[in-house]
């Protein structure tokens, strides 16, 4: 697979040191595999995608990475969505990494709990953090066993940062490095993901593409909005993401259903000033990265969390300019790719 120019911004020259060596123009052929991993309770299967160089046979903890998504959208359609000819998984795998992304139950191509086939008000919020942690543990164990590894790099986006951080705090021997992209921490007021949510939460919520776009652009200066997302990228992402919910696609307008367990956890912990995990228990090197226009997890959250990682050696906090919560699918996503890649590669030799 030949590597296309990464993006219009930042310039190619700024990214060339991160391209595969010795020839930056030639990237290795990549292999993609997909699995359905049984959850730790019956009747649930978890979707898992792997992408790696075709020639990779020697696996190592520092070069094996598991990515988990946020509160609303699945992992595959963000982390492995080719935009401008390249996905983030392509980029990392092209550097010689064994990359994985998973969908927690109720999201993407993983099993949807029975409550999602009923009206939302018929059941309490489903897929709370404890359940999601169990799903991550099952998938991480599957990868470790398949690759014969003691540890993995764990990376989360948004809600996924809380999940991966708690997993790292409770399982220090299983986590090589920790990447928290748009990290969640204590907040004042509800998460933007809860927009329109009722006082009494049902099992799940529904999101239209118009609502998703409005939330995406929230907090972006008006004069910067037109150039933020390259033409067609939002429509491509929305099309493949909403298609992961065939039941929601049958509605008019089409909707994406997302479990509400995360919103109940947010009310009971983050909004109530109660941390869901102890950052001091994280002993893995940690990277916190956030964009300046992130309205969902503002930079102040990362700044408040960073000094609490008292036992994370080599911890790092990076703020990226001119990006939102979803900078991984914006014109400046190269800055995100680069910041994360430098952290991943700095001690891998």
Query: Nearest to residue 143, comparing CAs of 105, 179, 178, 175?
Result: 175
Do 74 and 103 form a contact (C-beta atoms < 8 A)? yes
Has domain 12-345 been given CATH number 3.40.50.720?
Answer: no
pTM metric for this prediction: 0.90
Specify the 3-state DSSP secondary structure of 31.
Answer: strand
Tens digits of per-residue pLDDT, 272-284? 999 999 999 999 9
C-alpha radius of gyration, the chain, whole number: 19
Give the per-residue pLDDT at 187.
Answer: 86
Which residues are registered as beta bridge partners of 101? 49, 67
Q: Where are the domains of the chain?
A: 12-345
Reported as type and span, the H/E element at residue 258 is strand 256-259
Tens digits of per-residue pLDDT, 133-189? 999 999 999 999 999 999 999 999 999 999 999 999 999 999 999 999 999 999 877
Task: Compute the distance between CA of residue 305 and CA of residue 288 in angstroms, rounded to an integer.
Answer: 9
- Percent with pLDDT over 70 in the chain: 89
């Amino acid at each position: 697979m030949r590597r296309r120019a990464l993006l219009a911004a930042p310039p190619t020259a700024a990214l060339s040191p991160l391209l595969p060596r010795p020839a930056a123009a030639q990237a290795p052929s990549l292999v993609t595999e997909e699995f359905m991993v049984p959850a730790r309770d019956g009747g649930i299967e978890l979707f898992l995608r792997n992408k790696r160089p075709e020639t990779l046979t020697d696996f190592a903890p520092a070069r094996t990475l598991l990515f988990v998504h946020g509160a609303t959208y699945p992992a595959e359609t963000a982390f492995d969505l080719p935009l401008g000819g390249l996905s983030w998984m392509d980029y990392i795998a092209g550097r010689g990494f064994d990359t994985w992304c998973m969908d927690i139950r109720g999201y993407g191509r993983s099993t949807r709990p029975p409550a999602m086939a009923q009206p939302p008000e018929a059941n309490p919020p489903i897929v709370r953090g404890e359940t999601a942690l169990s799903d991550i543990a099952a998938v991480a164990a599957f990868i470790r066993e398949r690759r014969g590894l003691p540890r993995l790099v764990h990376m989360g986006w948004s809600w996924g940062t809380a999940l991966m951080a708690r997993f790292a705090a409770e399982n220090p021997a299983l986590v090589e490095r920790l990447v928290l992209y748009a990290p969640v921490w204590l907040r004042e007021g509800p998460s933007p993901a809860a927009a329109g949510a009722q006082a009494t939460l049902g099992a799940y919520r529904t999101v239209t593409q118009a609502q998703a776009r409005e939330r995406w652009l929230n907090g972006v200066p008006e004069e910067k909005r037109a150039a933020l997302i390259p033409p067609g990228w939002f429509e491509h992402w929305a099309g493949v993401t909403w298609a992961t919910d065939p039941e929601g696609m049958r509605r008019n307008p089409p909707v994406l259903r997302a479990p509400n367990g995360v919103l109940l956890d947010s009310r009971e912990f983050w909004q109530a000033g109660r941390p869901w995990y102890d950052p001091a228990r994280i002993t893995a090197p940690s990277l916190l990265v956030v964009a300046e226009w992130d309205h969902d997890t503002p930079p102040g959250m990362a700044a408040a969390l960073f000094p609490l990682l008292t036992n994370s050696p080599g911890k790092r906090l990076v703020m990226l300019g001119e990006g939102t919560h979803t900078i991984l699918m914006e014109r400046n996503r190269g800055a995100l790719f680069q910041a994360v890649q430098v952290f991943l590669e700095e001690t891998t030799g």
